[in-house]
Structure formats: structure tokens, C-alpha cells
Amino acid sequence: MPFLFEKIPRRIVRSTVHPHVFRLEIHPLSTLDYQGALASWLNFIQDVKRQFSFVLLWLNDLNKDVMAELGESVSVNEDAHFFVMDQEHASRYWLEKLDEGGWAMFFYVKPPAKISLPPESLPTEPEALLAVLNAAGAKVIITSWYDNNEWIIACTDDLIV
């Protein structure tokens, strides 16, 4: 299990068929009040961001309202966009904006020499998600689909303890 999950309740972390891909069941957190769940999500993302200081946020055209607030994307592929997620964007305000799901965060130790094109869509199958992670050269990817009840997290093998 990656050290990324040290502060996350074990009851919401699920293994998949691949040892580098995990599902974080956000749904059990919904039994807490909304603010408590939001704080847990924010703490997790900020913990990961402390380890990997450069983050790209993937959004597609279904998130036009969020994209308009973020401004210009750093890479575009059809309807998919990458935005640099700086410290300001790793905040409660932005996490609330992403509450409906339909996003992904790609975490890097340092900015890549060249930012690749964002994938047109994000797979949910472990092997395919790892291929996206590797193609982007990221260390960790967190994806959330449109109900935000579950995050799929893939990481490189050097992060597995």
C-alpha cells in the first residue's frame, strides 16, 4: 500500500487487480457532514501535493464553468485540457468547485520538461489508467468521475511500500 494512504481511513481504500491502482471510496465519507468530507478530501490532496509539488489538473469541456475561472490551459487535446494547479488552486474553494467529479490530477516531483497532450478521456480500468500515468510521466494520478463517489488512484511502483 502506498504511503499516500497513511492518513486515510483503511475502510475506504480498496485494492484493484493491479498492485499500483487503488480505489478510494468517497461514498462512506458521505455519512459524515459535507464539511467533514470536504476537509478529508482536501487534506488528502494537500498531503499528496506536499510530496509532489507540480500538479496538472485535467478537465474536459463538461467543466466549462471551472475552466473559465482557471483561465488558459497549458495543453489542449480536443475537449480535454491540462491546467497547472498551483497552491492557490489546491484549496477548499477549488475542491468545492470540483465536487461534481469529472476531473483528474497528475502529480509530478518537478515540472516535466514538456507537458504532454492531455488524454481525451480517462480510463477506469487499472492497466489503461497506468498507461495514461506512464505516458504523462507523472508519479500519481487521481481521477474522479461525475458523481465524485469514488476516486481511482494510480501510482508508480517506487511509491508502493
pLDDT tens readout for residues 25-81: 665 455 555 566 667 777 788 888 888 889 999 998 888 888 998 889 999 998 999
Percent with pLDDT over 70 in the chain: 74
pLDDT tens readout for residues 88-131: 666 667 777 887 778 999 999 999 999 989 999 888 888 999 99
Select the more confidently predicted residue: 143 or 9. 143
Q: Do 45 and 24 touch, CB atoms closer than 8 A?
A: no
pLDDT of amino acid 89: 64
- Give the residue from 49, 14, 58, 2 showing the smallest Cα distance to 26: 14
Q: Decide if pLDDT at 140 tops 80.
A: yes
Q: Decide if pLDDT at 152 tops 80.
A: yes
When pLDDT is averaged across residues 6-12 and rounded to a whole number, the result is 59
pLDDT of amino acid 35: 64
Task: Note the pTM of the prediction, 2 decimals.
Answer: 0.84
Per-residue buried b or exposed e for 56-91, using 16+ beta carbons within 10 Å of the residue's own CB: bbbbbeebeebbeebeebebeeeebbbbbbeeebbe
For all residues of the chain together, what is the average pLDDT? 80
Alpha carbons 90 and 88: distance in angstroms, whole number = 6
- The one-letter amino acid code at 117 reads L
pLDDT of amino acid 28: 46
pLDDT of amino acid 95: 73
